[in-house]
């Protein structure tokens, strides 16, 4: 990037940085496509758009790509006139790509201006992470030719590198053979080029002489049907190579002459760059919103999973809240310990018939610190702990079941490495600690509550533990949910506790104490379950990316589109700055501006129609029949 960075360059850098942060960790129906698209767009910006936008007057880079065995390396060697790249005899061929350039253009390619991820080497290498530079003055200044790996190689790294190199090209020189021109993989690349309006020329190689009239015409029709009808098509017959492995000059002279003329004309080169650069920027801006949509889909899916586990544990908190207020805990051990605490079991069985005994019983309780308060606290703790463990396990089962029913949830559970079907292994210890803390808070609450002088003596006689135990009993039956045979027993239990506390604090204070103690218990239960829920939230938080990324990506695209609208065609404006007034007035320039013009360049003559170098325009039936063309003696041609 230059110091004179334009608004469009700044916007594209912002878009590139935003795309770099894209993560799509959950496998959803359309995720794979966008998961590949994000790094592809970053590479397109890094390898081509930003370097080319910053150096619009750099040489034209023509990348020769195509099918396995199509003869790409042979074609490159033949165009140069000597062996500069080794054709592969054994498939697959794995080697570094070769870039041939004029010696005066070396500075453009020894730097990391384009393809910054590839190391520069000067000798042959099998490392696909390097780029072999070959200076050769048979290549005219202003043009470089790069031999790429097979687009359909069985080696994944070769395919990936071929796609990267083609994406960095100003001009695609796509080579296919008469036997392979209808294959799916080459057409995927050609359709990708058409989709982003890249400048493309197609070389149909190794055509049997008897098929010269039919196969090129058929490929031309296919190109026309798929948006490439205005791209030149060169037909190269099947022929013997010489001792150096080069094709006869007549077979490749039309391609050589066409490239030479293109290299010799600044306006034509700028026009090709304009077409491909504009198409690349537009394609990046067009494809990025789909990635933002994929990010939204990921967030929505994770939000759904979060909501499901939140609901599972909210239900656990609600259930504990209900069962610690409806009398459920006033059964079994807790009820027995309370009976021991305030008197014998016979007293409670006589409660309905001899309610008048209540006052006397309270009086006897207040005469001193009763026994059994410690046992009652243990029973309360044990009952509460069992309830909490049961509900924590139930919540875990609900959460696990809801995630197992969802493909995304199953993925997260598989990645977790934890057994999330039950409460955490340390839950029992944490639950016991929470209950002890609550019981301590209840004792602190009754100890801190103010009392009238007349009730202080009763409080001291009963003791903090006794008053606290009575308050816990009231808390556990606030809603009166007990029924059946328990009503007489447990109901009498709460009446005694109520009367005990009213005798000490008064009825209003008792209601306030019970509400405060219950709120304190609910808060501790909620915190305990929230800690359990964190197991799921941590898993979700580790998976989800920046929640603002989708919006920031859309904003970055909008800024690029705004800059495009404000500046017009970036390629055109840069080309205008680089070209002279005479070049700007040339037929190619006029054609770019939409004015009537004669063609700037024409393909070599054999059944050809005029060709516009500015937009690589040719009739959809343009076929250059190489076998009939004599060698060109024009100056500036590739020799």
Confidence band of 609 (pLDDT split at 50, 70, 90): very low
Residue 569: predicted pLDDT: 63
Top mean-pLDDT range of 400-409, 565-574, 590-599:
400-409
Q: Which residues pair with 201 in a beta bridge?
A: 173
Least confident of 77-91, 139-153, 216-230, 598-612: 598-612
Q: Summarize pLDDT for 112-125 with one digit per residue, the tens.
A: 888 888 999 988 87
CATH number for the region 62-265+603-634 comes to: 3.40.50.300
Top mean-pLDDT range of 189-203, 356-370, 613-627:
189-203
Q: What is the dihedral of CA 553, 115, 105, 125, to 10 degrees?
A: 180
Residue 88: predicted pLDDT: 57
Tell me the helix, strand and coil percentages in the chain, rounded to 5: 60, 10, 35
Residue 505: predicted pLDDT: 75
Q: Is the pLDDT of residue 580 over 50?
A: no
Q: Summarize pLDDT for 440-496 with one digit per residue, the tens.
A: 888 888 777 766 545 555 565 556 677 777 778 778 877 654 444 444 444 456 666
Residue 38: predicted pLDDT: 95
**Could you tell me if 61 and 97 are in contact, meaning their C-beta atoms sit under 8 angstroms apart?**
no
Residue 421: predicted pLDDT: 93
Confidence band of 594 (pLDDT split at 50, 70, 90): very low
Domains of the chain by residue range? 62-265+603-634, 304-545
Least confident of 418-422, 468-472, 477-481, 601-605: 601-605
More confident: 519 or 4: 519
Read off the tokens for 278.
């504009």
**Could you tell me if 636 and 138 are in contact, meaning their C-beta atoms sit under 8 angstroms apart?**
no
Residue 12: predicted pLDDT: 97
**Secondary structure letter of residue 478 according to DSSP:** S
Distance, in Å, from the CA atom of 143 to the CA atom of 146, rounded to the nearest integer, reads 10
Write down the residue that tokens 């964190």 correspond to: 534
What number of residues does the chain have?
Answer: 639
pLDDT, average across residues 89-98:
66
Distance, in Å, from the CA atom of 309 to the CA atom of 402, rounded to the nearest integer, reads 8
Confidence band of 142 (pLDDT split at 50, 70, 90): very high
Residue 160: predicted pLDDT: 86
Average pLDDT of every residue of the chain: 78
Residue 600: predicted pLDDT: 33
Q: Summarize pLDDT for 298-347 with one digit per residue, the tens.
A: 999 999 999 999 999 999 999 999 988 887 777 667 767 766 666 644 33
Residue 378: predicted pLDDT: 79
**Secondary structure letter of residue 617 according to DSSP:** B
Least confident of 1-10, 70-79, 152-161, 385-394: 1-10
Residue 151: predicted pLDDT: 86
pLDDT, average across residues 189-201:
88
């Amino acid at each position: 990037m230059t110091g004179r960075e334009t608004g469009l360059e700044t916007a594209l850098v912002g878009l590139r940085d935003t795309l770099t942060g894209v993560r799509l960790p959950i496998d959803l129906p359309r995720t794979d496509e966008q998961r590949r698209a994000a790094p592809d767009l970053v590479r397109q910006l890094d390898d081509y758009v930003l370097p080319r936008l910053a150096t619009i007057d750099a040489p034209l880079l023509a990348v020769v790509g195509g099918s396995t065995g199509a003869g790409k390396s042979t074609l490159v060697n033949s165009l140069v006139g000597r062996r500069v790249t080794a054709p592969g005899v054994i498939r697959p061929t794995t080697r570094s790509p070769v870039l041939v350039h004029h010696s005066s253009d070396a500075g453009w390619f020894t730097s990391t201006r384009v393809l910054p991820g590839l190391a520069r080497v000067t000798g042959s290498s099998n490392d696909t992470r390097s780029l072999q530079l070959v200076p050769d003055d048979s290549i005219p200044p202003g043009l470089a030719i790069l031999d790429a790996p097979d687009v359909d190689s069985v080696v994944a790294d070769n395919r990936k590198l071929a796609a990267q190199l083609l994406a960095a090209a100003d001009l695609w020189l796509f080579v296919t053979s008469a036997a392979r021109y209808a294959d799916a993989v080459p057409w995927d690349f050609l359709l990708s080029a058409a989709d982003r309006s890249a400048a493309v020329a197609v070389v149909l190689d190794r055509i049997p002489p008897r098929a010269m009239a039919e196969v090129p015409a058929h490929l031309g029709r296919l190109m026309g049907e798929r948006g490439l009808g205005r791209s030149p098509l060169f037909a190269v017959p099947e022929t013997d190579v010489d001792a150096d492995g080069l094709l006869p000059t007549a077979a490749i002279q039309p391609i050589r002459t066409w490239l030479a003329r293109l290299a010799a004309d600044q306006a034509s080169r700028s026009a090709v760059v304009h077409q491909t650069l504009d198409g690349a920027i537009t394609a990046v801006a067009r494809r990025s919103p789909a990635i933002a949509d994929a990010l939204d889909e990921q967030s929505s899916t994770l939000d759904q999973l979060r909501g499901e586990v939140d609901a599972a544990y909210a239900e656990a908190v609600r259930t504990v809240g209900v069962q610690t207020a409806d009398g459920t805990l006033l059964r079994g051990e807790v009820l027995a310990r309370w009976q021991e605490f305030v008197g014998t079991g016979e007293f409670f069985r006589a409660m309905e018939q001899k309610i008048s005994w209540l006052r006397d019983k309270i009086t006897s309780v207040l005469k001193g610190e009763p026994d059994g308060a410690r046992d009652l606290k243990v029973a309360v703790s044990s009952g509460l702990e069992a309830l909490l463990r049961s509900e924590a396990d139930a919540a875990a089962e609900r959460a696990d079941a809801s995630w197992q029913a969802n493909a995304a949830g199953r993925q997260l559970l598989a990645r977790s490495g934890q057994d999330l079907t039950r409460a955490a292994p340390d839950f029992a210890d944490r639950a016991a600690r929470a209950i002890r803390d609550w019981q301590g808070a209840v004792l602190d609450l009754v100890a801190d509550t103010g009392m009238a002088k007349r009730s202080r003596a009763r409080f001291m006689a009963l003791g903090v533990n006794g008053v606290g135990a009575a308050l816990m009993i009231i808390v556990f039956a606030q809603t009166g949910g007990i029924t059946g045979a328990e009503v007489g027993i447990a109901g009498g239990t709460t009446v005694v506790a109520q009367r005990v506390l009213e005798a000490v604090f008064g009825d209003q204070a008792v209601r306030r104490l019970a509400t405060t103690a219950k709120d304190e218990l609910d808060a501790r239960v909620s915190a305990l379950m929230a800690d359990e829920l964190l197991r799921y939230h941590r898993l979700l938080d580790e998976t989800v990316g920046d929640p603002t990324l989708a919006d920031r990506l859309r904003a970055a695209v909008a800024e690029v589109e705004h800059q495009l609208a404000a500046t017009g065609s970036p390629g055109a404006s840069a080309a205008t700055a680089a070209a002279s007034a005479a070049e700007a007035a040339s037929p190619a320039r006029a054609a770019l501006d939409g004015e009537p013009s004669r063609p700037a360049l024409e393909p070599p003559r054999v059944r050809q129609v005029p060709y516009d170098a500015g937009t690589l325009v040719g009739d959809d039936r343009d076929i250059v029949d190489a076998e009939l063309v004599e060698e060109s003696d024009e100056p500036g041609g590739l020799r």
